[in-house]
């Protein structure tokens, strides 16, 4: 399928968007959405114009992470077209299929339907001028990824993994998908999430629950940068559930960590 559909020209779709960054993982549950949300917020804190598209059609988590589950994007009439207006929170323009489907029912769509819904969220939305358009992609290498690669000129991809072997094996496939000859999307780097755990009462101790330096080794092997090693921190988990991700608190250690992660990709 890659052969029949070359990469889109830069600037053809969304000409006012400067950089399109895909956040991927091979495996689910490694913190890809958490990283996407915090990265988007941190980029906005740095003063950039940021959009975030939750492309996980079957398990959208961004509305909850941003605390905007009750909001519904409205329609605006611009340049003779009706466009979907993204929801804005923490300086980030956000769209997710989660705004349009019931949060408690399964979305039983075939791949084709999911892909056309996704295309609408890209092409028929009022994204306007953006410095960074972050795509939170579903786990794996799916129809959704193909649609994204064929619709948008992705500037670079960030791969999230834990240091655990099963996650690394899938991360390797994620990297391979972007490095495929027909796709050729630069890998901006690997992010090791859940790198270690430090209990509050023993701040000097680091427990490498999922293994040590797995991502460092994979980064070396695949010749890509290791952008960050994010520990398991309760506030990161709680921030996501409370609709106020850690990056909103710039004075906290985790807020600072996400700011430096954002700085590493600009």
Q: Which residue has the tokens 């999922």?
A: 210
Select from 17, 22, 32, 89 the one that contacts ligand ADP (CB under 6 A).
32
Q: How far is the CB of 149 from ligand ADP (least distance, A)?
A: 19
Select from 19, 24, 38, 61 the one that contacts ligand ADP (CB under 6 A).
61
Q: Which residues contact 20 (CB under 8 A, 6 or more apart)?
A: 14, 133, 135, 152, 153, 154, 155
31 is in an annotated binding site: yes
Interface positions, 166-225, toward ligand ADP (CB under 6 A):
193-194
Rounded CA gap, 10 and 122, in Å?
15
135 binds ligand ADP (CB under 6 A): no
- The residue among 42 and 230 lying less far from ligand ADP, judged by its C-beta, is 230
Helix 143-151 vs helix 111-123: angle between axes, to the nearest 10 degrees?
30
183 is in an annotated binding site: no
Q: Count CA atoms within 13 Å of residue 229 on its CB side.
A: 15
Q: Quick one: which segment of 12-20, 32-40, 46-54, 92-100 binds ligand ADP (CB under 6 A)?
A: 32-40
Q: Site map for ligand ADP, 236-255, x if CB under 6 A?
A: xx--x---------------
- The residue among 240 and 255 lying less far from ligand ADP, judged by its C-beta, is 240
Q: How far is the CB of 64 from ligand ADP (least distance, A)?
A: 10
- The residue among 14 and 194 lying less far from ligand ADP, judged by its C-beta, is 194
30 is in an annotated binding site: yes
- The residue among 140 and 156 lying less far from ligand ADP, judged by its C-beta, is 140
Q: How far is the CB of 240 from ligand ADP (least distance, A)?
A: 4
Backbone φ and ψ of 54, nearest 5°: -85, 105
93 is in an annotated binding site: no
Rounded CA gap, 244 and 27, in Å?
24
Q: Quick one: which segment of 93-101, 123-131, 205-213, 227-235 binds ligand ADP (CB under 6 A)?
A: 227-235
Instruction: Return the exposure string of 38-53: e unless at least 16 CB atoms fall within 10 Å of the residue's CB, then b.
Output: bbbbbbbbbebbbbbb
- The residue among 84 and 215 lying less far from ligand ADP, judged by its C-beta, is 215
Reduced to 3 states, what is the DSSP secondary structure of residue 110? coil
Q: Site map for ligand ADP, 88-117, x if CB under 6 A?
A: ------------------------------
What is the Cα 115 distance to its own chain's centre? 17
Backbone φ and ψ of 111, nearest 5°: -50, -40
Phi-psi region at 86: left, alpha or beta (left = phi > 0; alpha = psi -120 to 50): beta
Rounded CA gap, 161 and 214, in Å?
9
Rounded CA gap, 176 and 24, in Å?
12
- For the annotated binding site for ATP, the residues are 26-33
Binding residues, as ranges, are 26-33
Residues in the site for ligand ADP, rule: CB under 6 A?
Answer: 25, 28-34, 61, 193-194, 230, 232-233, 236-237, 240
């Amino acid at each position: 399928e890659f052969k029949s559909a070359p990469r889109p020209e830069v600037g053809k779709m969304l000409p006012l968007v400067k950089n399109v960054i895909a956040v991927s993982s091979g495996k689910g549950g490694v913190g890809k959405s958490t990283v996407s949300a915090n990265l988007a917020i941190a980029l906005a804190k740095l003063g950039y114009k940021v959009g975030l598209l939750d492309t996980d059609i079957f398990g959208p988590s961004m509305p909850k992470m941003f605390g905007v589950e009750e909001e519904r994007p409205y329609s605006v009439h611009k340049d003779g077209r009706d466009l979907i207006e993204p929801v804005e929170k923490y300086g980030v323009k956000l769209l997710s299929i989660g705004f349009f489907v019931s949060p408690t029912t399964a979305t039983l769509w075939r791949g084709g339907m999911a892909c056309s819904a996704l295309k609408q969220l890209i092409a028929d939305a009022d994204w306007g001028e953006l410095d960074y358009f972050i795509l939170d992609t579903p786990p794996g290498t799916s129809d959704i990824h193909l649609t994204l690669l064929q619709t948008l000129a992705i500037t670079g991809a960030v791969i999230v993994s834990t240091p655990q072997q099963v996650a690394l094996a899938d991360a390797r496939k994620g990297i391979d998908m972007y490095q495929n000859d027909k796709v050729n999307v630069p890998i901006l780097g690997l992010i090791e999430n859940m790198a270690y755990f430090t209990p509050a009462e023993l701040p000097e101790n680091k427990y490498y629950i999922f293994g040590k330096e797995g991502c460092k080794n994979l980064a070396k092997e695949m010749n890509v940068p290791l952008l960050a090693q994010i520990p398991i921190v309760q506030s990161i988990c709680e921030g996501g559930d409370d609709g106020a991700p850690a990056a909103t608190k710039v004075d906290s250690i985790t807020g600072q960590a996400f700011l430096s992660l954002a700085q590493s990709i600009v």
